Amino acid sequence: MNETHDPLLRSWVESANSADNDFPIQNLPFGVFRPAGSAMEHRGGVAIGDQVLDLKAACKSGVFAGSALEAATLAAQPSLNALMALGPEAASALRHALSGLLREGAAQQTTLESALVPRSAIELALPAQIGDYTDFYTSIHHATAVGRLFRPDQPLMPNYRWLPVGYHGRSSSIVVSGQQFARPVGQRPAAAPGGQPSMGRSERLDYELELGVFIGAGNALGERIGIDEADGHIFGLCLLNDWSARDLQAWEYQPLGPFLGKNFATTISPWIVSLEALEPFRTAWLRAADDVQPLPYLDSASVRRSGAFDIQLETWIETAAMRAAGDGPTRLSQSNFRHAYWNVAQMLAHHTINGCNLRSGDLLGTGTQSGPDAAEAGSLLELSRGGKHPVSLPDGEQRRFLEDGDEIILRGHCRRPGAARIGFGEARGRLLPARS
């Protein structure tokens, strides 16, 4: 905690001072953008209220110096990988400089006003070149609910309570918010045991409410990241929707795990919220005394004290009918990342315990974040109990799984007394009909 977290700080960017704004001066998330409809090169920016500070233009204005200038110069590039690679000290130096430059009464206001671009006038790109993508399964509530659908006598596999389960995904199909994609086609299970599988469009298309974790400084091949060193290798968090074709997934995942049922689309929010911005919302990571306790490499006093994050997560849906009627989206569910059975530091410690090297810009997914109550489910698979109990929407429509034209919107924010509200923006994606 430091002066950048002061809830009384106000910005001369007036829109950043509203109570429900995602991007107050205490947030300052990083992204990559260019003016909408232009052929200009993408460049790094920082969201502040309803504006974006163009870091390339800010650097030219001469407002940065020292380590903040070095960090700002790298952050102004078409991807944030070079800034990520410098580690948390560089990003923190830039954050502190930006906090001073953008706060109310700053002498540089007149200089920087010309470097602001309205967020409504930009198009966003992936904030980093993502080399590798690993998706975890950190919510025991999600794992148990899904397990009960398929293995009523053994919802959790024997390894679940001992390690953060994960699989390697496909980075090439990760797209920033606003993505539209065609319903996937593939093999589906046979109608009767032992029968021939069918080939066609997925009929059980689902979303997954997740967070994404961007790696900052990496580790060399053969080296491990200790659990108390993990924060130094994390650049920040975003929202993540790991779209899932449940029927394709059910047929193909044994014995090697997810494949075509997962790799056709993943949507992330465009702004990366730094761990430093989330510092006021750390909370204790709890493991009940009568539960299995982590092995030593996954455990530490500091992680138990403050290894979890109090991040409120929401899923909204806008169907084609809602859009046509001008009704706007409706909320399907809400949950909180503090319920996760495994935390972010444990994900990194386990990922590298065998010497696996993580690189700057790599992305880790937390897995679907469901809460202890049925209404806190992070997927339609859970909300509809495997498609057997359709979810009723306010306009009279029902959903077992997603239909063509449905748009899913993920939102997230942190809020507590004595701290400024920190938001993540949105991760939007729309399902289009399958290609013929």
Counting other chains too, the contacts that 6-10 makes at CB distance below 8 Å and 24 or more residues apart are 7/418, 7/419, 7/420, 9/99, 9/103, 9/104, 9/420, 10/103, 10/104
Strand partners of residue 215 = 234
Neighbours of 380 (CB within 10 A): 29
Cα separation, 318 vs 180, in Å, equals: 13
Element (H, E) at 81: helix 81-85
The alpha carbon of 410 is separated from its chain's Cα centroid by a whole number of angstroms, namely 9
Taking alpha carbons only, the member of 13, 384, 402, 342 closest to residue 182 is 402
User: Coil, strand, or helix at residue 319?
Assistant: coil
Calculate helix-pair angle for 66-75, 88-102, nearest 10 degrees.
100
Catalytic residues, by residue number, are 142
> Which residues have CB under 8 Å from 317's CB, separation 6+?
329, 330, 332, 393, 399, 406, 407, 408, 409
Written as six digits, the tokens of 79 are: 């991807």
User: Coil, strand, or helix at residue 32?
Assistant: strand
> What is the per-residue burial (b if ≥16 Cβ within 10 Å, else e) of 316-335?
bbbbeebeeeeeebeebbbb
